[in-house]
A and B are shown apart, each in its own frame.
Chain A
C-alpha cells in the first residue's frame, strides 16, 4: 500500500 503520508486528495 502507498505510504499513508502521500496526499491523495486534491
Chain B
C-alpha cells in the first residue's frame, strides 16, 4: 500500500459517500445517471469475485464490501425508493449502455491476464469501469447546469483514478515485477474521459460560477 493508492481509495470512498449523502439528504437523484450506477455495481461485483477466496487484508475486504454494498444500495434507492425514484431523469438518461457491456466483455475475452473465469471477469470490470462514467457525463451535458453534489461526485470519481495512475507509476518504479498493463492503460483512458469535465469544473470553480457544460 502506498500513499497514492490510499489517497485514491479514500477519494473513491468520498465520491460514493457524497452520492449517498445527496440521495439520502435531498431524497432526490436528479442529475444522477442510474445507468452509470448500475454499471458501477456490475464493475464491483465482477471485480471482487475473489472476495471470499483471497484474503489480502482487512482493509481490502472491508473496502470491497463497502463498494459493493454502497453501489447496490444506490441502484436500489434510485429504482425502488418511492420518493427518490420520482426525481430520476428517466427521459434524459438514455445512454445505450449495452454497447459498453458488450464491448468490455468481448475485449476481456481477448485481452486478459489468464483465461480463467475470475481473470476474464476481472479484466471485464477494469474495462467497464473505464467507460462506466459515460452515461453520467452525457446526462450532465443534457441537463446543462450541474447541481454541485452531482458535479462533486464526478470530480472525486475522476480524481480517484488519477491517484491510481500515480500509484501504478510508483509501483512500477519500486517493484521490479509490477506489470499491470490492463489496469494502467484502462485507467489512463478512464481519466482522459474525465479530462474535459475537469476543465469545465475548474473554470466554473475559478469564476465561482455554476458549472456549465457545453451542450
Contacts and interface: CB of A to CB of B under 8 A. Distances in A.
A7 B118 CA distance: 11
Contact of B183 (A2, A6, A9): A9
A2 B183 CA distance: 19
A1 B201 CA distance: 43
Nearest to A1: B177
A5 B50 contact: no
Classify chain B's interface size.
20 to 34
Contacts of B56: 2, 6, 8
7 A-B pairs with the lowest CB-CB distances in the bound complex, closest first: A8-B56, A6-B54, A10-B63, A10-B9, A4-B177, A7-B122, A5-B113
16 contacts: A2-B56, A4-B177, A5-B113, A5-B114, A6-B50, A6-B54, A7-B47, A7-B50, A7-B54, A8-B56, A9-B5, A9-B164, A9-B180, A9-B183, A10-B9, A10-B63
